[in-house]
């Protein structure tokens, strides 16, 4: 390498100097070109300018010191290797200048091909191509077009129009009908367009072309579309792009040349085979532009058997080397195969599981690595029902898959109409340009949401994901007219009441009703599809990887369930107990009247009566749940919500009373009720009389629940079962609260349990920041902690959990204040710190203290890794997320033991 590079920062790497692990520095494309070069594959020679050079340029607006000289040195080496020099009028070297960031950002940044052509070297290129003038002038006009557009912001359509004019004059629509003279004329026209817009001549100096093209690639990192894409894909904004300068090879030199893409297995299903497309006599950009139809890759065997065999050999080598599905771009120049790019290929969720399983079978990876290569988000996707698509259904638009699922329903354009039709039992799809908080009721009523604007962090997307509702956002082909209640797409008009089907995973929109089929993965978890009996490769792969995750994980996975049916389903899904049985819903329905009596009781006797009536009902609730969870722990949380939720709404009641009084009716009872509701009314019920506070204020309420739990446990145990209840006190902030509840509970338990052998634990939720900060004291009185991260997030941030996601989170996401809602994924630094402190101080005070989490985060993949790290014993989540938590707990375990072979 040139001597000056040792003294200064190294900004340029020859392909032979890099490798696949240098993606941060060389970008994905550069690192993989280097890897292929070192594997001895035929990669056109070239070099990579690092992301650090890009970052330095973007920070200062100028190329960093030394970069120009390093480029000169590497260019010289490239010229020597190729035996040609840039701009040589007799035998020119041409190069492509390509972007390549660490993460693939398809089509977001710039590429300039054929750099090095000018009025003189175009003649040399023709000679090089065996006197092919047409090819040389076509290459030159492509350079001016690409360079003009990407480097100098010349409007691309001006070049398109000029090309159309030439074709029209010639009476053709096909580029291939233009001859060398036509293209020479086009070069003149392009040059005029160039100078009209830039005020200068098209640069004839090749090094200037190269420098300007490199600069344009650097700058394209901050192009608007790239910024938006990064935000959507959560790619950090400060990575910068590398630039690859590569000797040009040509696929458009005649019938013995061509270009194509290939996958080492099917990226959609994971099936093994040869997948790809080939286009003869073409450059890569023609494939992307879809100008002519490609042929399946298998056809290449007939067209050019030698190149085909060679390609298959390289594909096998790459797969063996990367131990994964690779995608490849290649070009054949006059019968010589060149590899232009490879990377570990993107794949669908189903293919990820299938391929991981296959690679284990092939001995390329072990089961830990297979587990590492799939994730909970993919598994969650596979658990949604899917559209059954055959040829008759073609999408009419494609937006962003903002919240997964398959939804079918009648189109409505307003929130009010959504609510009306849903109340009549219709499935509706709410269609809006974009949604705002006023649409919330409509979004709740709808089966799915479809918008024409906004990305993955738009209001519609964020709120829909929070609700678990299917959403396609940013389907900009839809021309929506809200006042006229219609939209047009692909030449068709859809009016209110027409049926559409939207796929929240792929973002595709279909007219009419597409049949929906259940997920086979859910059938497997449900136990209705036996992995040993089926030939479904996906189910087999999921089974195998889940089994391994279970063997590896340290975290237990429980479920949040408060009915026997939910408990049973969760158990089939692999739940190892209940981490949160919320008892509030047990006070609704026809028991509401009893609760009203309890709240309104004027005397001790009236209150005790109401409690006595509730006791057997509660006991039955718990018996059902203990039976379903036989032998497994069940954490029952004492009642939590504010009492006014059990009473009629204040305004409505006040109106009813006033109207009745006006009519002279006897309203004594209603007036008493109204007075009670007024008494109970709170401005901030989430911060008011709920949880343990309620238990301390209403005598006998918690005692009744404790008795019901203990009696149910004894009943189940005496009938031959095994009940393992854990009583959990909500919203504790001070140890004294817990001590008071516990003293009474222990008395009752001792009385009920007797010699039955039932053991009842008493613990607390940690969901008030003060509890987390005094966990050492609280642990003295608690046999377990369960983190209520919903409330801990609410109170840690001071965000009302019922309001903020719909109100302003979309803006916080847009501004990058959050990467993701803190209600969805645990805020490690803030709320997570409270968890960590409480876990450490709790265990210091009571070694071996059992720790779990039962907030929504317990089923979030990212958060599961955090809870593993903090050392919790279990996570608890909704039944449907149990498999996701099992998988992620397994992944978390292998990641911390460092068995990752990559």
- Selected binder of ligand PEP within 270, 284, 376, 788 (CB under 6 A): 788
Residue 882 near residue 573 (C-beta atoms within 8 A): yes
Angstrom distance (rounded) from CA 379 to CA 861: 10
19 binds, among ligand PEP, Mg ion, none (CB under 5 to 8 A by kind): none
- Which residue, 401 or 855, has its beta carbon nearer to ligand PEP? 855
CB of 778 to Mg ion, least distance (A): 16
CB of 766 to ligand PEP, least distance (A): 10
Q: What are phi and psi of 246, to 5 degrees?
A: -130, 135
Helix 156-170 and helix 133-146, axial crossing angle in degrees, nearest 10: 150
- Residue 85, SS3 per DSSP: strand
CB of 765 to Mg ion, least distance (A): 6
Nearest to 433 by CA among 495, 477, 464: 477
Angstrom distance (rounded) from CA 87 to CA 144: 15
Q: Would you give the binding string for ligand PEP spanning residues 591-630, x where CB under 6 A is met?
A: ----------------------------------------
- Does residue 852 touch ligand PEP according to CB under 6 A? no
CB of 767 to ligand PEP, least distance (A): 5
Measured CA angle at 747 (ends 845, 733), to 5 deg: 40
850 - beta bridge partners? Answer: 784
Part in contact with Mg ion (CB under 5 A); list of ranges 28-36, 317-325, 762-770, 772-780: 762-770
CB of 877 to Mg ion, least distance (A): 14
**CB within 8 Å of 622: residues ≥ 6 apart:** 636, 708, 709, 712, 713, 725
Find how far residue 445's CA is from the centre of its chain.
Answer: 24
- Residue 516, SS3 per DSSP: strand
- Which residue, 369 or 767, has its beta carbon nearer to Mg ion? 767
Nearest to 762 by CA among 790, 792, 791, 786: 786
CB of 492 to Mg ion, least distance (A): 48
Angstrom distance (rounded) from CA 492 to CA 485: 14
789 binds, among Mg ion, ligand PEP, none (CB under 5 to 8 A by kind): ligand PEP
Residue 250 near residue 257 (C-beta atoms within 8 A): yes
**CB within 8 Å of 831: residues ≥ 6 apart:** 789, 792, 793, 796, 797, 822
CB of 839 to ligand PEP, least distance (A): 15
- Which residue, 767 or 888, has its beta carbon nearer to Mg ion? 767
Query: b/e for 561-571, b at 16 or more Cβ within 10 A?
Result: bbebebbbbbb
Counting residues that bind ligand PEP (by CB under 6 A) gives 10
Q: Would you give the binding string for Mg ion spanning residues 713-752, x where CB under 5 A is met?
A: ----------------------------------------
Measured between alpha carbons, how far is residue 275 from residues 165, 263, 457 in Å?
Answer: 38, 5, 34
- Does residue 427 touch ligand PEP according to CB under 6 A? no
876 - beta bridge partners? Answer: 558
Part in contact with ligand PEP (CB under 6 A); list of ranges 353-361, 709-717, 719-727, 786-794: 786-794
**How many residues make up the chain in this entry?**
902
Q: Would you give the binding string for ligand PEP spanning residues 557-586, x where CB under 6 A is met?
A: -----------------------x-x----
Angstrom distance (rounded) from CA 788 to CA 628: 24
- Which residue, 219 or 791, has its beta carbon nearer to Mg ion? 791
- Does residue 855 touch ligand PEP according to CB under 6 A? yes
Find how far residue 66's CA is from the centre of its chain.
Answer: 41
- Please give the residues from 742 up to 781 whose contact with ligand PEP meets the rule CB under 6 A: 767
- Selected binder of ligand PEP within 63, 628, 791, 805 (CB under 6 A): 791
- Does residue 12 touch ligand PEP according to CB under 6 A? no
- Which residue, 311 or 638, has its beta carbon nearer to ligand PEP? 638
CB of 727 to Mg ion, least distance (A): 16
Angstrom distance (rounded) from CA 558 to CA 576: 5
Identify the active-site residue in 326, 471, 854, 877.
854
Active site residue 459: yes
855 binds, among ligand PEP, Mg ion, none (CB under 5 to 8 A by kind): ligand PEP
Residue 381 near residue 505 (C-beta atoms within 8 A): yes
854 binds, among Mg ion, ligand PEP, none (CB under 5 to 8 A by kind): ligand PEP
Part in contact with ligand PEP (CB under 6 A); list of ranges 389-397, 457-465, 591-599, 785-793: 785-793
- Which residue, 21 or 682, has its beta carbon nearer to Mg ion? 682
- Which residue, 285 or 584, has its beta carbon nearer to Mg ion? 584
**E strand or H helix at 608, and its extent?**
helix 604-628
Active site residue 197: no
- Which residue, 318 or 634, has its beta carbon nearer to ligand PEP? 634
448 binds, among ligand PEP, Mg ion, none (CB under 5 to 8 A by kind): none
Part in contact with Mg ion (CB under 5 A); list of ranges 47-55, 248-256, 764-772, 805-813: 764-772
CB of 792 to ligand PEP, least distance (A): 7
Identify the active-site residue in 74, 459, 548, 857.
459
- Does residue 640 touch ligand PEP according to CB under 6 A? yes
Instruction: Tell me whether strands 326-333 and 336-344 are parallel, antiparallel or unpaired.
Output: antiparallel
Q: What are phi and psi of 541, to 5 degrees?
A: -70, -40
- Does residue 767 touch Mg ion according to CB under 5 A? yes
Query: b/e for 470-508, b at 16 or more Cβ within 10 A?
Result: bbbbbbeebebeeeebbbebeeeebebeebbbbbbbbbb
430 binds, among ligand PEP, Mg ion, none (CB under 5 to 8 A by kind): none
- Selected binder of Mg ion within 788, 806, 842, 883 (CB under 5 A): 788
Name the maximum alpha-carbon separation found in the chain. Answer: 108
Angstrom distance (rounded) from CA 341 to CA 618: 65
- Which residue, 286 or 791, has its beta carbon nearer to Mg ion? 791
- Does residue 854 touch ligand PEP according to CB under 6 A? yes
**E strand or H helix at 332, and its extent?**
strand 326-333
- Which residue, 182 or 767, has its beta carbon nearer to Mg ion? 767
- Selected binder of ligand PEP within 232, 441, 740, 790 (CB under 6 A): 790
Part in contact with Mg ion (CB under 5 A); list of ranges 341-349, 371-379, 787-795, 823-831: 787-795
Part in contact with ligand PEP (CB under 6 A); list of ranges 477-485, 651-659, 673-681, 783-791: 783-791
580 binds, among Mg ion, ligand PEP, none (CB under 5 to 8 A by kind): ligand PEP
Three-state helix/strand/coil letters over 221-264: CCCHHHHHHHHHHCCCCCCCEEEEEEECCCCCCCCCCEEEEEEE
Part in contact with ligand PEP (CB under 6 A); list of ranges 417-425, 527-535, 789-797, 807-815: 789-797
Measured CA angle at 356 (ends 270, 860), to 5 deg: 105
CB of 612 to ligand PEP, least distance (A): 27
Q: What single string gives the DSSP state of each residue in 793-812? A: HHHHHT--TTTHHHHTHHHH
Part in contact with ligand PEP (CB under 6 A); list of ranges 62-70, 400-408, 746-754, 787-795: 787-795
- Selected binder of ligand PEP within 128, 789, 863, 878 (CB under 6 A): 789
CB of 831 to Mg ion, least distance (A): 13
**CB within 8 Å of 508: residues ≥ 6 apart:** 395, 397, 398, 472, 502
Angstrom distance (rounded) from CA 755 to CA 766: 32
Residue 831 near residue 797 (C-beta atoms within 8 A): yes
Binding site for ligand PEP (CB under 6 A): 580, 582, 640, 767, 788-791, 854-855
Query: Using CB under 5 A as the criterion, which residues of the chain lie in contact with Mg ion when the complex forms?
Result: 767, 788, 791
Please identify every residue annotated as catalytic: 459, 854
């Amino acid at each position: 390498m040139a001597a000056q590079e040792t003294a200064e920062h190294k900004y340029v790497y020859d392909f032979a100097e890099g490798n696949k692990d240098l993606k941060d520095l060389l970008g994905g494309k550069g690192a993989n070109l280097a890897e292929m070069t070192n594997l001895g594959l035929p990669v056109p020679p070239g070099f990579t300018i690092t992301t650090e050079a890009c970052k330095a340029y973007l920070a200062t607006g100028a190329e960093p010191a030394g970069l120009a000289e390093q480029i000169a040195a590497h260019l010289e080496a490239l010229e020597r290797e190729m035996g040609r020099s840039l701009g040589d009028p007799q035998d020119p070297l041409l190069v492509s200048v390509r972007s390549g960031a660490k993460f693939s950002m398809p089509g977001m940044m710039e590429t300039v091909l054929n750099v090095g052509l000018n009025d003189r070297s175009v003649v040399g290129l023709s000679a090089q191509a065996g006197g092919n003038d047409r090819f040389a002038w076509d290459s030159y006009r492509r350079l001016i077009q690409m360079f003009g557009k990407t480097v100098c912001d010349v409007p691309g359509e001006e070049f398109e129009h000029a090309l159309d004019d030439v074709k029209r004059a010639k009476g053709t629509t096909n580029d291939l009908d233009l001859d060398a003279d036509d293209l020479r004329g086009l070069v003149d026209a392009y040059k005029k367009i160039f100078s009209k817009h830039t005020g200068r001549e098209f640069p004839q100096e090749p090094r200037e072309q190269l420098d300007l093209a490199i600069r344009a690639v650097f700058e394209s990192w901050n192009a608007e579309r790239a910024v938006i894409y990064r935000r959507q894909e959560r790619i950090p904004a400060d990575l910068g792009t590398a630039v690859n300068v590569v000797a040009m090879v040509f696929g458009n030199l005649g019938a013995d040349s061509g270009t194509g893409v290939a996958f080492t297995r099917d990226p959609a299903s994971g099936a093994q085979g040869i997948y790809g497309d080939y286009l003869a006599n073409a450059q890569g950009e023609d494939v992307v532009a879809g100008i002519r139809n490609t042929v399946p890759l298998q056809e290449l065997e007939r067209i050019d058997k030698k190149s085909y065999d060679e390609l298959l050999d390289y594909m096998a080598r790459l797969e063996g080397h990367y131990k994964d599905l690779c995608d490849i771009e290649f070009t054949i120049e006059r019968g010589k195969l060149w590899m232009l790019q490879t990377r570990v290929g993107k794949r669908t969720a189903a293919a990820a599981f299938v391929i991981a399983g296959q690679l284990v079978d092939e001995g390329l990876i072990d089961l830990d690595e297979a587990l590492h290569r799939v994730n909970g988000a993919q598994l969650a996707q596979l658990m949604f029902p899917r559209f059954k698509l055959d040829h008759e259904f073609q999408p009419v638009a494609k937006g962003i898959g903002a919240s997964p699922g398959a939804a079918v329903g009648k189109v409505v354009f307003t929130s009010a109409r959504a609510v009306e039709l849903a109340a009549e039992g219709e499935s509706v799809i709410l269609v809006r340009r974009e949604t705002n908080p006023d649409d919330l009721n409509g979004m709740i009523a709808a089966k799915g949401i479809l918008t024409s604007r906004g990305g993955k962090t738009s209001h519609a997307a964020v709120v829909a994901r929070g609700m678990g509702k299917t959403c396609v956002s940013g389907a900009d082909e839809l021309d929506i007219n809200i006042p006229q209640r219609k939209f047009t797409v692909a030449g068709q008009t859809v009016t209110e009441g027409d049926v559409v089907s939207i796929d929240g995973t792929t973002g595709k929109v279909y007219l009419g009703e597409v049949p929906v089929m259940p997920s086979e993965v859910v059938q497997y978890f449900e136990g209705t599809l036996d992995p040993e009996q089926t030939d479904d490769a996906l189910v087999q792969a999921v089974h195998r990887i889940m089994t391994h995750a279970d063997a590896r994980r340290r975290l237990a996975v429980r479920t949040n369930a408060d009915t026997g049916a939910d408990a049973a389903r969760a158990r089939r899904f692999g739940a190892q107990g209940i981490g949160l049985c919320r008892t509030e819903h047990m006070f609704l329905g026809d028991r509401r009247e009893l609760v009203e009596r309890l709240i309104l009781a004027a005397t001790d006797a009236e209150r005790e009566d109401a409690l006595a009536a509730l006791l057997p009902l509660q006991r039955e609730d718990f018996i059902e749940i203990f039976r379903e969870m036989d032998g497994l722990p069940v954490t029952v949380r004492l009642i939590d919500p504010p009492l006014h939720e059990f009473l009629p709404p204040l305004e409505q009641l006040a109106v009813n009373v006033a109207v009745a009084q006006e009519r002279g009716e006897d309203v004594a009872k209603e007036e008493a009720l109204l007075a009670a509701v007024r008494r109970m009314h709170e401005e901030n019920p989430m911060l008011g009389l709920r949880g343990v506070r309620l238990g301390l204020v209403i005598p006998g309420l918690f005692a009744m629940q404790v008795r019901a739990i203990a009696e149910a446990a004894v009943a189940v145990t005496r009938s031959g079962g095994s009940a393992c209840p854990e009583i959990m006190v909500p919203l504790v902030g001070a140890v004294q609260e817990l001590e008071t509840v516990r003293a009474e509970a222990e008395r009752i338990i001792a009385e009920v349990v007797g010699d039955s052998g039932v053991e009842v634990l008493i613990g607390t939720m940690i969901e008030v920041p003060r509890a987390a900060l005094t966990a050492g004291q609280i642990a003295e009185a608690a046999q377990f902690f369960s983190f209520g991260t919903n409330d801990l997030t609410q109170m840690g941030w001071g965000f009302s959990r019922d309001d903020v996601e719909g109100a302003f989170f979309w803006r916080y996401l847009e501004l990058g204040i959050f990467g993701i809602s803190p209600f969805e994924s645990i805020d490690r630094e803030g709320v997570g710190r409270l968890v960590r402190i409480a876990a450490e101080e709790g265990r210091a005070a009571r070694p071996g203290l059992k720790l779990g989490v039962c907030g929504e985060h317990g089923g979030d993949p990212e958060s599961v890794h955090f809870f593993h790290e903090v050392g919790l014993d279990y996570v608890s989540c909704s039944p449907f997320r149990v498999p996701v938590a099992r998988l992620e707990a397994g992944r978390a375990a292998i990641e911390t033991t460092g068995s990752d072979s990559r």
